[in-house]
Amino acid sequence: MSKIYYLPQTNEVELFKAAASMNLPVLIKGPTGCGKTRFIEAMGEELKRDVYTVVCHDDLSAADLIGRHLIDENGTYWQDGPLTKAVRNGGICYLDEIIEARKDTTVVLHSLADYRRSLSIDRTGETIEAHPDFMLVVSYNPGYQNILKGMKPSTKQRFISLSFSYPDQKVEQEIIIKESGISEQLAQKLVMIAGEIRQLDDSDIQEVVSTRLLVYAAKLITGGFTPYQACIHCLVESLSDDHDLLAVLEKVISLHFPKS
């Protein structure tokens, strides 16, 4: 199996390894597509720990994390959820977009994110002491925070924090080349386009061009699409449905990659 590719930006690898060795929970903040999930997967591989990923959403319940009783032809039995599996067996439990989960769900993390490092399962009466290799990691996009969605201070202050952003130009070019096999010249142009779009003012783009989308565009180009077509499908249509904004984005693309 090939090694997961991740190119460090600052000291995040050293900090994560230190947190793992000290049994400290980690909170990662950053925009969509900047490499948060890739980073966790790479760290799991580096530390030789399984990664249990949970994509959080409004309907996520505590039972989805901890587990529930199920019924089969032999009767009722208990099935561990991903959080319980990681606590019991060791591994990284990664809760992606934690602010999307209900507040009453995230409360179950408190005893795992402090000195206790234990998980109580009310439905079975069991209290599990966390495996030495258990690590709790959560992430969210600060741009999605509002009055209704946000981490409670009592939860946030239980974690050490890492802030991610989009890589600088040289690093982003290297990532695109490595992931897609595109030429350095084309990678440089894609990064320039992304920079221009990220600097647009007064637009309704909820999320600007991510490194992930640049990789997608590069892959389409290496797959035979023209640079203009690849950018339209990945860097324009994926960002907005507003006709006026689409026209602005298309103009940015055409300045670098003419349509014809």
- 38 shares a domain with 106: yes
Domain of 181?
Answer: 169-256
- 187 shares a domain with 157: no
- 250 shares a domain with 193: yes
CATH, residue 44 = 3.40.50.300
- 118 shares a domain with 22: yes
Give the pLDDT score at 131.
97
- 145 shares a domain with 21: yes
Q: Which residues pair with 139 in a beta bridge?
A: 28
pTM for the whole structure:
0.86
Give the pLDDT score at 202.
55
| HSE of 64, CA atoms in CB hemisphere, 13 A | 15
Give the pLDDT score at 183.
96
- 154 shares a domain with 227: no
Give the pLDDT score at 204.
61
51 part of a folded domain: yes
Give the pLDDT score at 48.
96
- 193 shares a domain with 90: no
| Distance in angstroms (rounded) separating the CA atoms of residues 258 and 8 | 34
- 194 shares a domain with 144: no
- Cβ 55 vs Cβ 65: under 8 Å: no
Q: Pick from 115, 136, 163: which residue ends a domain? A: 163
Q: Pick from 121, 146, 163: which residue ends a domain? A: 163
27 part of a folded domain: yes
- 173 shares a domain with 96: no
63 part of a folded domain: yes
| Distance in angstroms (rounded) separating the CA atoms of residues 88 and 81 | 11
194 part of a folded domain: yes
CB atoms inside a 10 Å sphere around CB 149:
14
- 139 shares a domain with 66: yes
- 219 shares a domain with 98: no
6 part of a folded domain: no
31 part of a folded domain: yes
- 184 shares a domain with 134: no
Give the pLDDT score at 260.
67
Mean pLDDT by 10 residues, the chain (260 residues): 82 96 96 91 96 92 92 91 96 94 85 94 93 96 64 86 92 94 96 91 71 96 96 92 90 90
Number of separate domains in the chain: 2
